[in-house]
Structures are given as structure tokens and as C-alpha cells.
């Protein structure tokens, strides 16, 4: 089994390790990954093309109609999702109508399944855009990535396709004043002949400092569960993930582990 891409706007619902029964929304093109990062562990594979032009994206009306239809069918069948989650084939906040789509989704959720949470899984690379930040402030679960506090590790692990630093990411996360969930992928292995391990003591020490600065409402830590873009990567054992989680909890922040 290899990496995969989503072939529609709405997918699932799927059983998520972090979000329960999650109805997914893919704002990126069918079978085409568009992202500002090129993470070596991505389950969608490599970011091959850099295009972000709006012609590649489903339009706001298409997203609205697809979600409205699926929620109506689920409601008729007595199915209520725990979450409506923006994820899919890359970075969802790259969609030019992302703020409006968030407003539409909140309206549809309130009508069809008010108990469901709206979540966004983002790599935190577009937070310098006020319209993106304001949209994320509206959702229930604003889940943003921070895999390391070291620039060199981010360059290897996340391979940004834009100019961004760890200090910039950390500052932008802190600017949410607590209305943010930090997600961190812990992984070990070898990539291009270099050892990669963001669970090493120096990594965890600096990452914890960043978490303390950000003061998120929650931290989600996890490791790889599916095939990855790069070979040679390995899951981090559950006992190590729980050890890291205990260190986060010692600074007073709720932590969830997905093994």
C-alpha cells in the first residue's frame, strides 16, 4: 500500500485517531497535492507541483453544495459526525475563498449537526495572512503544526517550499492567545543519508520551550501510521510518545497521544 490522494471535495466520514468520527473536506484539487510544505512523512506523497492558482481549486459554491448534500444525507440516516475536518490533498488555507468557506461551513453545521466540531488541520505556514488567521479563530479546533523548534529540523522534516523560520511559526502560534491546538509528528529514521529524530533530548527541550510560549489549549502528538512519501522512516514507540506527553502536562497543558 502506498501514499494516497483524495478524489473528491467531501470524504468519509472516517474514524480519526484525533477527532473521532470525522467528515473530511478537501479544498485542494482531485488527485493533485498542493502544499507549502513537502513533509517527508506525508501520507499524500510528495508535493510535485507548486501551483496555487485558483483554477485548480473547487470553487466556494461547489464546496457548499457538496457539504450540504452530505450533511443532509447523514442527518436523514441518523449519522452525526463528531467533527467536520478540513484536511485533504495539501494545505487547506491556500484556497483563495478559505475564509468564506469557513463561514459557510459554520452555517451548515449549525443547521444540520450543531454538536459537531469544525476542525482545520494546517501546517501553520500561512498565518501571516490576516484573513486566514481570522478564519481560524472562528473554528472550534484550530489544529496547527509544529514539528520542531529548530530550523534545520524543519528543513529536513517539513521541507518548506516558502521562506519560513521556526521562530516565525512559534510567534504566529502564540498570537492566537491560546485558541490553538498544536499538533506534532514525531518520527525517526534516515533521509538522504541523514539521521532524523525529533525526539532527541535537545529537540524536546526546545520544543517544550516553544509550547510554553504558545500556551495552546491542547497538544496533539502522534507518529506515522501509514506509508510515507520518503522511505526509511519509523514509528516512535508508544512509551516514548507518552513520556513526551507527560513533560507537556507538567507545564500545565492538556496533551493527547495518538499511537
Q: Domains in the chain and their CATH numbers?
A: 10-258 (3.20.20.70)
The per-residue pLDDT for range 71-94, each reduced to its tens digit, is 999 989 888 899 999 998 899 999
Task: Return the percentage of the chain with pLDDT > 90, whole number.
Answer: 80
Which of residues 101 and 52 earns the better pLDDT score?
A: 101
**10 Å Cβ neighbour count for 68?**
17
Q: What is the pTM of this model?
A: 0.94
Average pLDDT for 223-251: 95
pLDDT band per the 50, 70, 90 thresholds, residue 1: very low
> pLDDT averaged over the chain?
93
CA 202/CA 199 separation, integer angstroms: 8
Cell of 216: 495552546
CA distances from 135 to 3, 118, 130 (A): 30, 12, 9
Residue 3, pLDDT score: 61
Residue 25, pLDDT score: 96
pLDDT greater than 50 at residue 12: yes
Amino acid at each position: 500500500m502506498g501514499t494516497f490522494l483524495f478524489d473528491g471535495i467531501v470524504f468519509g466520514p472516517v474514524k480519526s485517531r484525533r477527532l473521532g468520527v470525522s467528515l473530511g473536506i478537501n479544498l485542494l484539487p482531485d488527485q493533485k497535492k498542493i502544499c507549502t510544505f513537502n513533509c517527508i512523512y506525508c501520507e499524500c506523497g510528495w508535493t510535485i507541483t507548486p501551483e496555487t492558482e485558483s483554477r485548480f481549486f473547487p470553487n466556494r459554491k461547489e464546496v457548499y453544495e457538496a457539504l450540504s448534500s452530505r450533511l443532509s444525507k447523514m442527518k436523514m440516516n441518523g449519522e452525526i459526525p463528531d467533527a467536520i475536518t478540513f484536511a485533504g490533498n495539501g494545505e487547506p488555507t491556500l484556497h483563495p475563498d478559505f475564509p468564506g468557506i469557513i463561514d459557510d461551513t459554520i452555517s451548515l453545521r449549525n443547521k444540520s449537526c450543531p454538536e459537531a466540531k469544525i476542525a482545520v488541520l494546517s501546517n501553520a505556514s500561512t498565518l501571516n495572512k490576516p484573513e486566514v488567521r481570522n478564519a481560524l479563530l472562528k473554528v472550534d479546533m484550530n489544529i496547527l503544526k509544529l514539528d520542531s523548534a529548530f530550523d534545520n529540523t524543519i528543513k529536513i522534516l517539513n521541507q518548506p517550499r516558502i521562506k519560513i523560520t521556526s521562530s516565525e511559526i512559534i510567534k504566529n502560534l502564540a498570537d492566537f492567545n491560546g485558541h490553538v491546538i498544536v499538533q506534532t509528528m514525531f518520527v525517526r529514521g534516515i533521509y538522504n543519508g541523514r539521521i532524523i529524530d525529533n525526539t532527541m533530548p535537545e529537540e524536546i527541550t526546545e520544543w517544550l520551550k516553544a509550547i510554553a510560549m504558545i500556551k495552546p489549549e491542547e497538544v496533539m502528538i502522534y507518529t506515522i501510521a501509514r506509508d510515507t512519501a520518503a522511505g526509511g522512516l519509523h514509528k516512535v514507540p508508544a512509551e516514548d510518545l507518552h513520556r513526551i506527553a507527560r513533560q507537556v502536562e507538567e507545564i500545565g497543558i492538556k496533551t493527547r497521544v495518538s499511537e
